[in-house]
Structure 1
Amino acid sequence: MVSVPIGANESSILLIAHPDVDTHRLTRDTTRAVFAMRQRTWPNGQAVRVYVLPNDHPVHARFAKERLSVYPHQLQLAWDRMVFSGTGQAPNRVGSQSEMLERIATTPGALGYLEREYLDDRVQVIAME
């Protein structure tokens, strides 16, 4: 049985992390900073490995708008700016929610998102405040 933290019910798209991540809740601002690739480590210093679906994937669009309060193109602009200026890199892209689940489950420090029905006990749900 997978327990979903209180506060995770407002959206069917959940923030998920590798089971070794010891952070269990993030604010919207911190989550936005991580997905914009501005915050690159967890509070304990471990590197965050960010995974996202393609920009045109409906779940990516919903995650960006509902959970981060930004549009997908705004995230892409931030990633492009960092890549082209040499100050950072874009997140890792996966092609499907099944691939997202697999990557998060097997990559230490990984963070991503998926719809509730794809969730299993190989990953943990991170509550958003």
Structure 2
Amino acid sequence: MYRLTTWMWLLVLSFGANAEIIAHDKTQASGLTVSQLRLIFSRQRLFWSDGSPIRVFILPPDSEQHRQFCTESLEVLPYVLQRQWDRLVYSGTADRPEIVANPDQMRRRVKETPGAIGYVPDDTTAKDTAHESH
């Protein structure tokens, strides 16, 4: 019964996510769980399994897109994430994620940066997909 409940919860999380995780082409980021993504975006996990550094990109912390990503995809409040970044920066153990201005810049920076991971809102992804098909 526990496995069925866990599976159903993961299914709800995957359908409820409002953002698409994007990563550099040579980064093996497929199949990451919510817990793993939370560790990566909170800068508690700093290296990929191959030992290469993880470069995290986020949209502006005061944006609605970032707030939705934190609460719906990572299941953490944005201010909690900010506190974790502050604590890690002040202790000298990690850097804050790099902030990009918009989803287009996010795609470009993630594509250009080895080890990069970021997110784009689903509505932007849907618009881009529709635009590319014409």
The two structures have a TM-score, normalised by structure 2, of: 0.78
What do the CA deviations read for 1:86-112 (whole angstroms, capped 9, x no partner)? 121111111111111110111111100
What stretches of structure 1 move > 4 A for 4+ residues in a row? 6-9
Aligned runs of 1:1-129 on 2, under 5 Å? 9-119=15-125
Three-state SS of the structure 1 residue aligned to 2:60 is coil
Q: Is the 8 A contact 2:16 2:73 kept in 1?
A: no
Gaps of 5+ in 1: 1-5, 122-129
Bigger RCO (CA 8 Å, 6+ sep):
1
- Structure having the higher Rg: 2
Is the strand fraction higher in 1 or 2?
Answer: 1
Three-state SS of the structure 2 residue aligned to 1:113 is strand
What do the CA deviations read for 1:48-99 (whole angstroms, capped 9, x no partner)? 1100111111110000001111011111000011111212111111111111
Distance apart, 1:19 and its partner CA: 1.1
CA distance in 2, matches of 1:118, 1:101: 11
CA distance in 2, matches of 1:8, 1:104: 22
Three-state SS of the structure 1 residue aligned to 2:105 is helix
CA distance in 2, matches of 1:47, 1:87: 13
**Which range is displaced more, 9-18 or 65-74?**
9-18
Gaps of 5+ in 2: 1-10, 130-134
Number of residue pairs matched by the alignment: 116
Three-state SS of the structure 1 residue aligned to 2:16 is coil
Percent identical among aligned pairs is 34
CA distance in 2, matches of 1:47, 1:110: 8
The two structures have a TM-score, normalised by structure 1, of: 0.81
CA distance in 2, matches of 1:115, 1:99: 13
Is the helix fraction higher in 1 or 2?
Answer: 2
Three-state SS of the structure 2 residue aligned to 1:50 is strand
One-letter amino acid of the counterpart of residue 47, structure 1: P
